[in-house]
Structure 1
């Protein structure tokens, strides 16, 4: 069997393997998830212990994927001797002291030949996934090259999706990676509107998997456990095709069930969804 390796692409793109560092950020780390969601991937990557990048001129950043695979996100150049650059929109928590880490001078590469592979290239990181940074000389087999681009998350206040769109988002994690990160990073009060009659259902999420975990239930079961949706679906098996999902209020990831339900009940009263909508109680 013929294997293609990351090094094949790097050499073609004129990367010096001995001066290239590979980094695999874990999707299990809340700090990384928050930084990536906020658009602070570079700042998160460049905040490392003193001397971390001294032996390297290029840094190739991946995120963990299924098993021990990794998805290519972005490449940066190390400008030795220059002052670090920090975006005004940098996640505030990255500006605070953390262990012995400092900001290093990582910059985006102008006309980077690897740009065409961003969010499309997947490699096998290897069994030693705990080694989250490795030298570019380490051979990494290419496992997949996706011929598609990720769909950009529009912001919580702009989420308006139909059931068909929700199902597509849930079922296509690679294409909707930004959506999965954003929706799993929060809990929320949400509304499901039946566009055929205007009736509304108000719900809330308060679990460790965030709003993504709750909306996955709707994608797989249609009713999500709601009794009135079950009754509606029994009468009309295609009723859910008229459903529209929106986020009414973002809640903290660590909110308690009691706190979330209290806010949910407040929205039910405001929108009168018990007497006129799909909320049973």
Structure 2
């Protein structure tokens, strides 16, 4: 099945002027924008009037020319960025002379969003195209977070971390990878730059340790807990990444020695969220 057939079955009027858009931007973490509710504003702001159409079908770029459906939108109007008030939660800077499109998400596609993967084809530089028959190559399971990119090549926000643990079957790649290694990890509070450095060892490796963070955000750590208790949703600000992987065969004492090395290296005791 191709994307035209699929969306037509769901009621999309394919006689309309429809654009396909594949977001892939090396400057920004699009999964971060998606899970923090900023991607809709991001895609509404364009340097050129490329969304002069009736509907836009939005995708997030994946490796190997694949693209993951984000949503189907009706294009309502066009103005300059300077003429609108962008949400206060929007963290990117936009040129006031750029175009802003008022978009309205269409109902009836919720169960397909973030699950349908198409083959965009060889012309990935052409990130916006008129509606055409691109093959549906995969349907991702409900609750899928994102592809595992490698141990040192990701930063997860709290919502993504929770999704990985709340839907383990859909995110088995993450479960397998994080369970196979011990390591040193970093939790960052972006608004202050404060850092917490921790370590994980034992049979379940980093996966077992991060599971403790997936509900509360603080995992029982004192200073992180204090931050969470001061504001109900503060834990959603935390960002999780790995500084170094280690063999699970190391003893707890050996892993803690590596942890202390990184605490000293990054100054997380004096200027961060580590007490010891």
TM-score bucket of the superposed structures, by smaller chain: 0.5 to 0.7
Specify the alignment match of 2:255 in structure 1.
Answer: 229
Residue 261 (structure 1) aligned to one of 259, 265, 268:
265
Whether 2:209 is the aligned partner of 1:191: answer no
Instruction: Report the Cα distance in structure 2 between the residues aligned to 1:89 and 1:141, rounded to whole angstroms.
Output: 38
Specify the alignment match of 1:14 in structure 2.
Answer: 11
Is the 8 Å Cα contact of residues 85 and 105 (structure 1) preserved in structure 2?
A: no
Specify the alignment match of 1:5 in structure 2.
Answer: 2
Counterparts in 2 of 1:63 and 1:158: CA distance versus 1, 3 Å: closer
Specify the alignment match of 1:121 in structure 2.
Answer: 116
SS of alignment partner, residue 228 of structure 1? helix
Instruction: Report the Cα distance in structure 2 between the residues aligned to 1:51 and 1:269, rounded to whole angstroms.
Output: 46
Higher Cα radius of gyration: 1
Counterparts in 2 of 1:135 and 1:213: CA distance versus 1, 3 Å: farther
| RMSD (Å), alpha carbons | 4.7
Taking the TM superposition and a 5 Å limit, the aligned residue runs for 1:146-161 are 146-150=140-144, 154=158
Unaligned residue ranges in structure 1 (runs of 5+): 174-182, 201-209, 232-257, 273-281
Is the 8 Å Cα contact of residues 65 and 122 (structure 2) preserved in structure 1?
A: yes
Is the 8 Å Cα contact of residues 69 and 125 (structure 1) preserved in structure 2?
A: yes
TM-score by length of 1: 0.57
Specify the alignment match of 2:63 in structure 1.
Answer: 66
Specify the alignment match of 2:137 in structure 1.
Answer: 143
Unaligned residue ranges in structure 2 (runs of 5+): 146-155, 178-186, 203-220, 222-238
Instruction: Report the Cα distance in structure 2 between the residues aligned to 1:34 and 1:128, rounded to whole angstroms.
Output: 25
SS of alignment partner, residue 116 of structure 1? coil
Instruction: Report the Cα distance in structure 1 between the residues aligned to 2:272 and 2:157, rounded to whole angstroms.
Output: 27
Specify the alignment match of 1:214 in structure 2.
Answer: 243
TM-score by length of 2: 0.58
Which runs of 4 or more aligned residues in structure 1 lie more than 6 Å from their structure 2 counterparts after TM superposition? 81-85, 156-159, 183-187, 223-227
Is the 8 Å Cα contact of residues 13 and 113 (structure 1) preserved in structure 2?
A: yes
Instruction: Report the Cα distance in structure 2 between the residues aligned to 1:141 and 1:53, rounded to whole angstroms.
Output: 23
* Cα distance, 1:42 vs structure 2: 0.9
Aligned length: 209
Specify the alignment match of 1:133 in structure 2.
Answer: 128
* Cα distance, 1:78 vs structure 2: 0.7
Instruction: Report the Cα distance in structure 1 between the residues aligned to 2:33 and 2:116, rounded to whole angstroms.
Output: 21
